[in-house]
Amino acid sequence: MAKHHVSMTVNGEPVEFLCETQQTLLDVLRDELELTGTKEGCGTGDCGACSVMLDGRLVCSCLVLGVETEGRHIETIEGVAQGSELHPIQQQLLEDAALQCGICTPGIVVAAKALLEQNLNPTETEVRYWLAGNLCRCTGYDKIVRSVMNAAAKMREEA
C-alpha cells in the first residue's frame, strides 16, 4: 500500500509528509520533518520526553500515529521560544539549573507551559501531579518543580 499523504500544521506552519501507518507522530516529527527537539525516551507513553500539544491538548507523540494528525494542529518544543527570546519557563529552568542531561527537558517545557496556560498559580502538589508523566532520571525533580513555580510567579507579575 502506498504511504499516507498527511497535511497538518506544526507551530502554526502548514506541513505535508508521507508516512506508513505504524509511524508515530514522534517518528514523523523527528525523521520526516527533522524537528528533533522532541525526544524519544521510552516509546510507550511512560516518560513524557516526547510531549507535544495536539489541538491544544498535551499528549505523548509516541502514542499518536502520524496518519491520525491529518488536519490537526501540533505544537512542539521548537515553537515555544519566540525567535531568540526564550519562554519564561525555559529561561527559569536555565536560571535555576533545573536540567542536567536535557533529554526530558523539551517534554517538561511543553508540559509545564500547558499547565501554566490553564493555571498560572498552581500549588506545588498540582505541579507535581501534572508533571507526574514526565520522568527525569537526573535532577530528582525538586529543582524542576521549584523552577516551574518560579516561572509561574514571574509570569503572574508580568500578566
Interface residues with other proteins (CB under 8 A) are 1, 4, 20-22, 24, 43-46, 48, 51, 54, 57-60, 62-65, 67-68, 111, 114, 129-134
The CA distance from 99 to 115, in Å, is 19
Output the smallest distance, CB 134 to other proteins, in A. 8
Run of H or E including 54: strand 51-54
Query: What does the block give as the cell for 114?
Result: 500547558
Output the smallest distance, CB 117 to other proteins, in A. 13
The CA distance from 134 to 87, in Å, is 19
Output the smallest distance, CB 85 to other proteins, in A. 27
What is the DSSP pairing of strand 13-19 with strand 4-10?
Answer: antiparallel
The CA distance from 145 to 42, in Å, is 22
Q: How far is CA 84 from the centre of its chain?
A: 18
The CA distance from 114 to 109, in Å, is 9
Considering the complex, state which of residue 37 and residue 45 has its C-beta at the smaller distance from other proteins: 45
Considering the complex, state which of residue 135 and residue 138 has its C-beta at the smaller distance from other proteins: 135
Output the smallest distance, CB 46 to other proteins, in A. 7
Considering the complex, state which of residue 23 and residue 150 has its C-beta at the smaller distance from other proteins: 23
Considering the complex, state which of residue 4 and residue 146 has its C-beta at the smaller distance from other proteins: 4
